[in-house]
Amino acid sequence: MFESFNDPVDVIIAFVDGAMRPIRFRWQGRVVRIRSVTGQWTRREGQTLLRHFAVQGAGDDSYELCYDSRAARWLLCRAWTGHA
């Protein structure tokens, strides 16, 4: 099931070769461990550069995370989950 959110989330990241890499995030009271980063891109909003990450969780669950440097916060933009 596909859903759009823009929910604030807490994200643990690592810096690998100078680049951000999300490791896991907390959403709706549960921790989602990230198995892999399947894509990343940037998008401008005015002077701000937003960093987007497509990530794979457990099973077939996929998520889009966004780092907004204006507010130093992470958002869960979208989720594709097997949960109905």
Q: Is 84's pLDDT higher than 70?
A: no
Q: Is 36's pLDDT higher than 80?
A: yes
Residue 1's pLDDT is 78
Average pLDDT over residues 36-56: 95
C-alpha triplet 82, 41, 3: angle, nearest 5°: 25
**Entry pTM:** 0.89
- Report the distance separating Cα 48 and Cα 3, nearest Å: 25
Is residue 18 classed as helix, strand or coil in its secondary structure? coil
